[in-house]
Copies of this chain bind each other. A is one copy, B any other.
Amino acid sequence: MFIAKVIGTTISTIKDEKLTGRKLLILRQTDETGAPSGKPYVAVDTLDAGIGDLVLTAHGSSGRQTAITSNSPVDAVIMAVIDHLEVGGQVVYRHQ
């Protein structure tokens, strides 16, 4: 899984029928302190994550192993909202 920050949303009228009602968020991968870098990607939100949250995303066929995404043409899902990250015995990120 990647640690990623939710930075935005996408709206699509024309889409595969299995995506009806799905929330597609824009994310950027972060380092272990929550600092984002790299190109954005899009994942299905199954947990009501908010803009600015740090989350974990699962990719590929693993992105379809939720009740909401099974059998859908989606390759990334938010499967956890991060409360805190601990590295080297220190809390380096805490959800606010």
A10 contacts which chain B residues (CB < 8 A)? 3, 56, 80, 82, 84-86
Restricting to A26-64, which residues have a CB under 8 Å from any CB of B? 26, 29, 31-32, 37-43, 46-48, 51, 56, 58-64
A72-84 interface bits toward B, Cβ cutoff 8 Å, 1 = contact, 0 = none: 1111110111111
A71 contacts which chain B residues (CB < 8 A)? 65
List 19 other contacts, CB 8 Å, given A14-B80, A51-B89: A2-B42, A3-B42, A8-B85, A10-B84, A11-B82, A12-B83, A13-B81, A14-B47, A14-B81, A16-B66, A19-B80, A26-B85, A31-B40, A32-B40, A59-B75, A61-B62, A62-B72, A62-B73, A65-B74
